[in-house]
Amino acid sequence: MPVLVAAGGLAIALVILMQFGLLRSRATSGQTWLYSFESLFVAAFSTIVGLATGNGELYVLAGVTLVAKVALVPWLVFRLTSGLEERVKDEVPLSLGVPSSLISALLLTGIAFAAAVRLPLAGPLLPSSGFAMGLAVVLIGFLFTITRLNTISQLLGILTVENGIFLGTVAIAPGLPLLVGLLILFDVLMAVLVFGVLVRFLAMRHSTVTTSHLKELAG
Amino acid sequence: MEPLIAMLVIPLALGLASYASPRPRATQALTLGGGLAVLALSALLVAQGTSPRSSMGGLLYLDSLSVVLLAAVAIVYATSSVFAIGYLRSEERAGDFPRYVRSFYSLLNFFAFTLLLVPATDNLGLLWAALELTTIVSALMVGLEGTDSALEAAWKYILIASAGLALALLAVVLLYASGTPSLGSSYQPRWTALLGNADRLQPRTVSLAFLLALIGFGTKAGLVPMHTWLPDAHSEGPTPVSALLSGALLADAMYAVLRFNAIAVRALGPDFSRTLLLVFGFASLLLSALFVLRQHNFKRLLAYSSIEHMGVLAVGTAFGSPLASYGVALHVLTHAATKSMAFYGAGSILRKLKTREIGKVKGLLHIAPATGLLFLAAALALSGLPPFGVFRSEFLILAGGSSRAGGWFVPAALLIALVNLAFLGVFRYTNGMVLGAPPASVRRGEPSRWMMGVALAGDQRP
C-alpha cells in the first residue's frame, strides 16, 4: 500500500508538472505533446487507484484514456495543424507573459488546496491532494485558455480542464459508474471533432489560427 | 415510457436519414412529419398524467417537470421544422443547396434529440453528457452560415459553454462524492436517489456542488455574467436554430439548475441556494434590460430578452413557494412558444429585408402585414402583456413570491420594475419596426407562407 501511495503521489505531481509546463510552452506542437503526457499520467493515476481498490472499471477507463486522449486526440490536433504556417504554430501570442502566468498558476494552486482541504472528502488513495491537484489543473487550464490567443491552444486548454476533472474524479469518486466515465470521454472526442471543424474553417478564412481577429461581435 | 422512447428515436433516426438522403424535399417532409409526431407524443405524455416513472435503471425517467420540458422542446422542434421550409426557400437556387440541406437537417434533428434527452433521464451523468452534446451539435449549427461573424459566434459559444459545462461536471462529481459515505462508494448518480437521501449528504460538499452547478449550467442558460456567448450565437445562427437555442436549450439548462436546487434545498435548507439564485437572477434581469434599451440588432434584442426570461425563472425558483414553482414551469412553456414565435417573425423580416438592423426596418404593417402583426404580437406577449401566456406565468411567479408569509416584497417589486424596463425597450423598438411609413423601394408581400403559418400556430393563450 505505501508503494501505491507513493506511486499515486508521483503520478499526480507529474500531471501538475505538465500543466505548468504548458504555460511555459510557446509552440502548439509542444503544447500538444504536453497534453498527451498529462493524459498518460492521469491514466497512470487511474490504474494505481484501480490497484488500490481492486475496482476493474478504473483499468477500463485508463485504457480508454490511453487510446483516446494520449494517442487519438493529439494525433487529431497534429493533423489539424499540419497545414498551418510555421510562424503561427511556433510562437503563440499571449495576453499574459510566461513569468506572470507561472506566478498566477502558483496562486491558483494555492487556492485549489485551500478549497480542497475544507471539504470532507473521502477516497481510497490521496483524496484530498488528488482533488486539490485536479482543481488546480482545472483553474490553470482556464488561465491558459484565456491568455493564449490561438484557437489550437484554447482547444488544448479546455481539454486539460477535462483532464483535471478526471483526476479529481478518480481521487474522490472512483466508484462513479463506468458508463458515466465513458459518456464523458465520448463527449470529449465529439467536442474535439467539432472544435477541429471550426478551427479549419477559421483558418481557411483568415489563413491563421490566432484569435486576434475574433472581435467583431460585442454589445 | 413507450411514447418517450419514440420521441427520442424519431429525431435520432431522422438525423441519420437526413444525412443519407440525397433529396432535399424528402428530408424536409420527413423532418416536418417527425416534428409533428414528437409534438403529438408530448401531448400524449401530458395526458398520461404526472406520476414519476423510470425504466432502464433510471437512464430514462419521467416526472411532471420533465414532461413540461419535453413539451417545450417539442413545441419548438415541431414549429421550427415547419418554419425551416420557408426559411430555406430563398436559398433553393444556390448550387450547394442539397449539401446545405443535408448538414442543416441532420444537425437540426440531432440537436432536437439531445434537447429531448436532457429532461428524460434520472442519471445526472447522462444529463450532463446530453447537455454537452447539445453544445457540440448546436455550435456547428451556429457556424453553419460560414461567415466571419457566424464562425466567431460559434467559436465563442463552444469555448464558453464547454468551460461552463466543465464546472457543471465538477458539480456532478462533487455531488456524487457527497453521497459516498451514506450511499456506498459505488452507486448510480440518480437524481431521485440523491434527493431521497439528501439529508444524509455532506452539506459542505453539496454547497460547493450547487454553486458550481449554478455557474456551470447557468453559463448554458445565459445567466449574467456568464451570458456573453448568448447574443452572438442567437443572432448569427440560422433563425430556426435561434428559436431552438432560446426556447428549448436555455430551458434545458435551467432544468438542470432546478434539479440541483431541489437537492440543495433539501440538504442545506432553502436559504443558501435562494440567495445565489436571487443574485444571478437579478443580475440577469438588470443587465438584459439595459442592453435591450440600447440595441440595434433585432435578433440580439430577442437574445437579451431571453436572458431576461432566464432571470425571471431564476428568481421564481428562488421564491420556491408552490405557486411560484408552478409559475416557473408554466413560464418555461410560454417562453418557449412565445420566443420561438418572435424569432420566426424576426427570421421572416430578415429574409424579406435582408437586414438585422432595427433602424432599417420600418412600416412592416404595409410591407408584409402578416409578418408585422405577428412580430408585434410576439413582442407584446414577450413583454408580459395580457392576454398572453407570459403574462400569466410571470403573474403566478410574482403572486407566489409576494404571498409568502414574511413576504418577498422587495424582490417581487424589483422583479416588476426590471421586467417593465425590458418591456419598454422591446416595445419601443418593435413599434418603430412595425408601424410608420415603409421605405418606397421595398416590394410588398410576405416572404413565405410556410414561415407565417407556423408562427400563428404557436399557442399564445394560457
In chain B, how many domains are there? 1
Q: Is residue A79 part of a domain?
A: yes
Grid coordinates given for B52: 414519476
Grid coordinates given for A110: 494555492
**Predicted confidence (pLDDT) at residue B328 exceeds the cutoff of 90:** yes
Average pLDDT of every residue of chain A: 91
Whole-number pLDDT of residue B462: 36
**CB within 8 Å: B163 and A158:** yes
Whole-number pLDDT of residue B92: 80
Q: Would an 8 Å CB–CB cutoff place B103 in contact with chain A?
A: no
**Binning pLDDT at 50, 70 and 90, where does residue A80 land?**
confident
Q: Is residue B275 part of a domain?
A: no
User: Mutation test of the interface with chain B: which of A58, A140, A198, choosing the one with the most B Cβ atoms within 10 A?
Assistant: A198
**Binning pLDDT at 50, 70 and 90, where does residue A1 land?**
confident
Q: What percent of the residues of chain A are helix, what percent strand, and what percent coil, each to the nearest 5?
A: 80, 0, 20
In chain A, how many domains are there? 1
| Crossing angle of the two packed helices B369-382 and B322-353, in degrees rounded to 10 | 150
B 42-61 → A contacts, CB under 8 A: none
Q: Chain B: nearest CA to A55, how far in angstroms?
A: 10
CA dist A55 and A170 (Å) reads: 11
For B259-318, what is each residue's pLDDT tens digit?
999 999 999 999 999 999 999 999 999 999 999 888 889 999 999 999 999 999 999 999
Q: Is residue A131 part of a domain?
A: yes
**CB within 8 Å: A175 and B184:** yes
CA dist A33 and B57 (Å) reads: 40
Q: Contact, A96 vs A212, CB < 8 A?
A: no
Q: Is residue A83 part of a domain?
A: yes
**Predicted confidence (pLDDT) at residue B340 exceeds the cutoff of 50:** yes
Taking CA–CA distances from A186, the nearest residue in chain B reads: B129
**Predicted confidence (pLDDT) at residue B52 exceeds the cutoff of 70:** yes
Whole-number pLDDT of residue B329: 94
In sequence order, which residues have a C-beta less than 8 Å from that of residue A2 and are 6 or more positions away?
none
Q: Contact, A23 vs A100, CB < 8 A?
A: no
**Binning pLDDT at 50, 70 and 90, where does residue B454 land?**
low
User: Mutation test of the interface with chain A: which of B114, B152, B293, choosing the one with the most A Cβ atoms within 10 A?
Assistant: B152
Q: In a 10 Å sphere around its CB, with 0-12 CB exposed, 13-18 middle and 19+ buried, how is residue A79 labelled? A: exposed
Q: Which of B132-141, B346-355, B387-396 has the highest mean pLDDT?
A: B132-141
Q: Is residue B350 part of a domain?
A: yes
**CB within 8 Å: A118 and B204:** yes
Whole-number pLDDT of residue B209: 96
Average pLDDT of every residue of chain B: 89
Grid coordinates given for B110: 440531432
CA dist B131 and A209 (Å) reads: 28
**Predicted confidence (pLDDT) at residue B453 exceeds the cutoff of 60:** no
Q: Is residue A144 part of a domain?
A: yes
Task: Report cis status (omega within 30 of 0) of the bond before B240.
Answer: no
Q: Is residue A217 part of a domain?
A: no
Q: Contact, B357 vs B297, CB < 8 A?
A: yes
For B197-226, what is each residue's pLDDT tens digit?
999 999 999 999 999 999 999 999 999 999
**CB within 8 Å: B125 and A151:** no
**Predicted confidence (pLDDT) at residue A131 exceeds the cutoff of 90:** yes
Contacts of B159 in chain A (CB under 8 A): 145, 154, 158
**Binning pLDDT at 50, 70 and 90, where does residue B406 land?**
low
Whole-number pLDDT of residue B450: 65
**Distances in Å between the alpha carbon of B417 and those of A179, B289, B426?**
47, 10, 15
Whole-number pLDDT of residue A60: 95
B 145-204 → A contacts, CB under 8 A: 146, 148-149, 151-156, 158-159, 162-163, 166, 169-170, 173-174, 176-177, 180-181, 184-189, 202, 204
Whole-number pLDDT of residue B380: 87
Contacts of B126 in chain A (CB under 8 A): 179-180, 183
Q: Contact, B460 vs B337, CB < 8 A?
A: yes
CA dist A132 and A110 (Å) reads: 9
Q: Is residue B349 part of a domain?
A: yes
Contacts of A114 in chain B (CB under 8 A): none
Contacts of B151 in chain A (CB under 8 A): 198, 201-202, 205
Q: Is residue A139 part of a domain?
A: yes
**Distances in Å between the alpha carbon of A57 and those of A47, A177, A195?**
10, 8, 29
For B420-446, what is each residue's pLDDT tens digit?
888 888 888 888 888 877 776 777 777
- B428 versus B403: the higher-pLDDT residue is B428
For B350-391, what is each residue's pLDDT tens digit?
888 888 888 888 888 888 888 888 888 888 888 888 878 888
Contacts of B148 in chain A (CB under 8 A): 205, 213, 216
Is A120 strand, coil or helix? coil
Contacts of A216 in chain B (CB under 8 A): 148-149, 152
**CB within 8 Å: B166 and A174:** no
| Partner residue facing A194 (CB), from B158, B187, B204 | B158
Among A39, A26, A169, A20, residue whose Cα is nearest residue A108: A20
Q: Is residue A213 part of a domain?
A: no
Contacts of A195 in chain B (CB under 8 A): 158
Q: Contact, B352 vs B318, CB < 8 A?
A: no
**Predicted confidence (pLDDT) at residue A219 exceeds the cutoff of 80:** no
**Binning pLDDT at 50, 70 and 90, where does residue B457 land?**
very low
Whole-number pLDDT of residue A153: 94
**CB within 8 Å: A217 and B159:** no
Q: Contact, B447 vs B352, CB < 8 A?
A: yes
**Distances in Å between the alpha carbon of A149 and those of A153, A209, B1?**
7, 9, 48
Domain that holds residue A40: 2-206
Contacts of A138 in chain B (CB under 8 A): 166, 170
CA dist B261 and B221 (Å) reads: 15
Q: Is residue A216 part of a domain?
A: no
ipTM of the complex: 0.94
For B85-109, what is each residue's pLDDT tens digit?
988 887 887 778 888 999 999 999 9
Domain that holds residue B367: 321-462
Q: Is residue B347 part of a domain?
A: yes
**Distances in Å between the alpha carbon of A208 and those of A90, A147, A214, B202, B384?**
12, 17, 11, 49, 46
Proportion of chain B above pLDDT 70, given as a percent: 95
**CB within 8 Å: B202 and A169:** no
**Binning pLDDT at 50, 70 and 90, where does residue A207 land?**
low
Whole-number pLDDT of residue B184: 87
Q: In a 10 Å sphere around its CB, with 0-12 CB exposed, 13-18 middle and 19+ buried, how is residue B407 labelled? A: exposed
For A162-201, what is each residue's pLDDT tens digit?
999 999 999 999 989 888 899 999 999 999 999 988 888 8
**Predicted confidence (pLDDT) at residue A152 exceeds the cutoff of 60:** yes
